[in-house]
Amino acid sequence: MDSSEIKDAVSGRVDSFLKSRIILQLPGETIEVDPLIFGIQFDEQRTVETILNYGKSGNYVNDFVILSRAPFVKSKFMSVYSLNFSQLSGALDSLLLRYEKPAVNSSIVYENGEARISIASEGLVVDKSSLLASLTSAIENMDSGPIPISFVEQKPITGADDSSVALEKVKSLMNQRIIFSFERDSWILGGKELLSMLRFYPEGYEHGYFLSVLGGNQPIIIKSLELHDFESKRLQVILDPVALDAFVKKIAVAVNRPTVNATLKFAGEKVAEFVPAVDGQALDIDLAEQLIFEKVSIESINLDADILLALPVKIETAKIDNDKINSLGIRSLVGKGISYFSGSISNRISNLSLASRRISGTLIAPGEVFSFNKSVGEVSGATGYRQAYVISEGRTVLDDGGGICQVSTTIFRAALNAGLPIVERTAHAYRVSYYEQKGFKPGFDATVWAPAVDLQFRNDTDHHILIQVVVDAARAKLEVDLYGTSDGRRVELSEPVLSNFQPALPDKYQDDPALPRGTVKQVDFAASGITSVFGRKVFKNDELVIDEKFTSRFKPWQAIFLVGTGG
């Protein structure tokens, strides 16, 4: 046969083989497989060259016999091919996995609040080393089979006895909490969540275990192999770097923030736009993980119940390069007040939002006394305020500006926290539920009613103070921020002492012609009478400069329902 004939013969054989089905013979069952799923690629030209060069030994008689038989003798047809071994391995797993029952290694599991050793069991798996040898031989000879598949017993690598030491380590670790902290925030890792971040592996197999067999130019990975003189391995336990990295990155999302440089713009005598300087911060993830691995040793369990780790955070200082900011001394946050108004009617939210806009941007000069009534201006329908419920002469009635006390209360809290002298403050006659939302205790409120009742505080610092008010309608949250220059003062607020408890009054129903007849609407909630007293101490350079008490005497109040009498 000349080269042209051999080439045609090879091409025909390859085409016929690839169109055929490889038969895998299982006990009592056959599987027909498309050869292409194994990632086979034949090199027909090199196969032809191999056949032409086959038998060129120098012995002309012997070579003649071999060359005569080679194209026709199946056992001597050695094709040149390549395999995508990753595809081959995946295809075999997909085809045969349902026929296998892999061995189960003993490990550590968490059930009913405690760690225990799981039971190991033997398995029965395909003898893939034998299968691989038969399969590659069939491909070389373009033989579709059938290819026999045999099974071998698979022993677990770790048994219960091999896991006992690991269990003791895990139990010791589960009695601990790892507390990560930065400033006032903390994150706790312990119990089941900590166990989920542990990785268990047989001794010597930390990076996985496999048999690598060369086929062509690439290895095929055999995940398990039964060996003679098999010895079980002790179960090892480590903190899983991948799981730990994911946990630390979640903390980083909460910690990280961009750097914001300060800006300040005026509209007349008020600040129209102010962006405070905010230092950027970023959690050093690599260093944090290094500290965790150094502090949390599985091999040498720390005896402390709590392991405290201060998170390494890189700080980028913001720039304050505005001359006006520097001259006024508006450099940092000196006080913050927060309150919540969940459940407020729309008109009340509109009023507190309008009052907030009127006050936000107010500058208080050194030595100046801030007056809420003066800053907010006239409160009436003519100035944009809507009617909302207020307490007047023992009744809940609609009046212009209902809800602005939410703003005065929040400013009072900000001034308290800033350590500024309170010149005038009056508590409400009755406890108002809005001012006790989110855990605030009675007594941290301030009512206003122009012109008789005002909220006032003095700027006793050497620099201006800027009031910024933020209304977060989505979270029903009001925040007042006071910016200035910190002079190092420190504020201590005591927990309020509550006394003189009086039960709430019976529910009260009031006619309201503004509501449709038959409609009943609750506008106030029952509250017991109580006396609240809390103290405040302000220190400057460790010297006590303010020592005062705030007393609020709240009368008992009833739930109030408006009954519609309108058409």
Domain count, the chain: 3
SS3 183: coil
What is the CA angle 30-32-38, rounded to 5? 125
- d(C-alpha 185, C-alpha 453), whole Å: 39
Residue 282, domain member (yes or no)? yes
- Predicted confidence pLDDT, tens digits, the chain (567 residues): 567 877 887 788 888 888 888 888 888 888 888 888 888 888 878 877 777 776 555 443 444 333 333 443 444 456 777 777 778 778 888 888 888 888 887 777 777 767 777 788 888 888 888 888 888 888 877 888 798 988 888 887 777 776 777 777 777 666 777 888 887 688 888 777 777 777 676 665 555 443 334 434 444 444 443 444 445 566 666 778 888 899 999 999 989 988 887 777 767 777 777 777 778 899 999 999 988 887 765 555 555 667 888 999 998 877 765 667 778 888 888 999 999 999 998 999 999 999 999 998 899 999 999 999 999 999 999 999 998 867 666 566 677 888 999 999 999 999 999 999 999 999 999 899 899 999 999 999 999 998 999 999 999 999 999 998 989 998 899 999 999 999 999 999 999 999 999 999 999 998 989 899 989 988 778 889 999 999 999 999 999 999 999 999 999 988 889 899 987
- 183 and 213 share a domain? yes
The domain of 192 spans 103-121+156-259+278-313
Residue 341, domain member (yes or no)? no
- 521 and 418 share a domain? yes
Residue 482, domain member (yes or no)? no
Residue 465, domain member (yes or no)? no
SS3 91: helix
- 57 and 113 share a domain? no
Residue 210: what pLDDT? 37
- 40 and 142 share a domain? yes
Torsions phi, psi of 275, nearest 5? -115, 110
- d(C-alpha 153, C-alpha 148), whole Å: 17
- 308 and 403 share a domain? no
Residue 347, domain member (yes or no)? no
Question: What pTM was estimated for this model as a whole?
Answer: 0.51
- d(C-alpha 31, C-alpha 29), whole Å: 7
- 117 and 135 share a domain? no
- 386 and 252 share a domain? no
- 18 and 89 share a domain? yes
Provide the edge-to-edge strand list for the sheet that holds 465-472: 332-340, 477-484, 465-472, 363-364
- 424 and 540 share a domain? yes
- d(C-alpha 51, C-alpha 66), whole Å: 10
In this predicted model, what pLDDT tens digit does every residue of 347-379 receive, in sequence order?
A: 999 999 999 999 988 999 999 999 999 999 999
Residue 74, domain member (yes or no)? yes
- 162 and 222 share a domain? yes
Residue 73: what pLDDT? 41
In this predicted model, what pLDDT tens digit does every residue of 5-62 receive, in sequence order?
A: 778 877 888 888 888 888 888 888 888 888 888 888 888 788 777 777 765 554 434 4
What is the CA angle 323-329-330, rounded to 5? 90
- 8 and 116 share a domain? no
128 C-beta neighbours (distance < 10 Å), count: 24
Residue 304, domain member (yes or no)? yes
- 408 and 385 share a domain? yes
Residue 410, domain member (yes or no)? yes
24 C-beta neighbours (distance < 10 Å), count: 22
